[in-house]
Amino acid sequence: MARVLPAESDLRRVIGDGETVPDGEVEGLSEEDLLELHRRLVLLRTYDERSVVYHRQGRIGTYAIFWGHEAMQVGGTYALEEADWIFPSYRESAIGLLRGMPVSTVLSWWRGHPAGWWNPADWNVASICVPIGTHVPHAAGLAWGKKLRGEPACAIAYFGDGATSEGSFHEGANLAGVMRAPLVLFCNNNQWAISTPLSAQTAAKTLADKAAGYGMPGVRVDGCDVLAVYEATRDAVARARAGDGPTFIEAVSYRAAPHATADDPRAYIDLERVEEERGRECLGRYEGYLRRLGVLTDDLEREIKAEAAQAMRDGIAKAEAEPPADPSLLFEHAYVDPPASFGSELAELRRILGG
């Protein structure tokens, strides 16, 4: 089980360093579970790394990188049931893959193609939220609705440290606390809101301290430790299902990649710190843990990574095989009663596009 490290403000960890800090374990996880967590980490890592390449090749648009954040997504969602809902921010754009969503669907979203518009009810994964924190009230409302209907499902909302400075976060957290909604508020504290450091965002000692203001517990966990994340989320989900209301999880990490492909962090970030943190990234740490257990072999690791790479190749091929979208989609759902000018404007757009 997770160990509490008092020197780091009660930061919970399971995975040791293979030297001075011993490994822990999480009750209830089989060897099959441990390998499944690894497969999911590899899938997200491969997706992220290939997406950066696809962006550089002009095959997708501006892309929000989540390299090093995979443990938060994998560990958090592994604690859920299929009926539970996930509300992602743009940093969790590929989280639907963990629910079986096709790679091509997520890639199409980044390509701006309608094939990337999924029905949230098909996967219990809400649409990717690009505005900061505006999905938190949505998640709180859905969770409250599940409670009112007597359904056992809960919801998890992912957001960054910057979102805790937004009014929508406070509104959603307050609603969830008052209504004792079955909600997990999962904060990815990677220390940066684009170029704004955490120290310039809040005077609170930790972001988890904010939970007290909404009558819910706040938990701090190592965001690069997939097992600690899983255990903390599992506890929060159990609490939600028991009718005890929401939990705030602060997963602490450090953003070791640019905010997005349009960002140049060299202007504001400590590059030496970045290199240090890259050496502690979540996938490598977990692979070391599995190897110390004797669960992961070289052959199995190669097989898992080859499967993920093939899934990406197949996904981009399918996404790029989609026919161009009909430009009328830009007009059809803009107004209930469209202005008369839409007809001529659509005709002009078709002329410009050559079709």
Using an 8 Å Cβ cutoff, are 194 and 162 in contact? Answer: yes
259 has catalytic annotation: yes
CA separation for the pair 101, 120 (Å, rounded): 11
Q: Tell me the C-alpha distance between 140 and 157, whole Å.
A: 8
Q: Determine which one of 69, 113, 259, 285 is catalytic.
A: 259
Q: Is 68 helix (H, G, I), strand (E, B) or coil?
A: coil
* Contact between residue 60 and residue 112 where contact means Cβ atoms under 8 Å apart: no
At a CB cut-off of 8 Å and minimum separation 6, what does 161 contact?
Answer: 187, 188, 189, 190, 191, 192, 193, 198, 201, 207
- How many angstroms separate the CA atoms of 128 and 126, rounded? 6
**Kind plus residue range of the DSSP H or E element containing 322:** none
CA terminus-to-terminus distance, the chain = 61
- Residue 102 CB contacts under 8 Å (≥ 6 apart), including other chains: 315, 318
Nearest to 122 by CA among 151, 144, 102: 102
Report how far Cα 81 is from the mean position of its chain's Cα atoms: 17
Examine the residue annotation and report whether 78 is marked as an active-site residue of this protein: no
Is-catalytic flag, 286? no
Strand 155-160 with 183-189, pairing: parallel
- For every residue of 99-156, DSSP letters joined together read GT--HHHHHHHHTT-GGG---HHHHTBPPPB-STTTHHHHHHHHHHHHHHHT----EE
Residue of 255, 285, 286, 289 marked catalytic = 255
DSSP readout, 299-319?
HHHHHHHHHHHHHHHHHHHHH
The contacts of residue 81 (CB under 8 Å, 6+ apart) are 153
* Residues forming the active site: 255, 259, 268
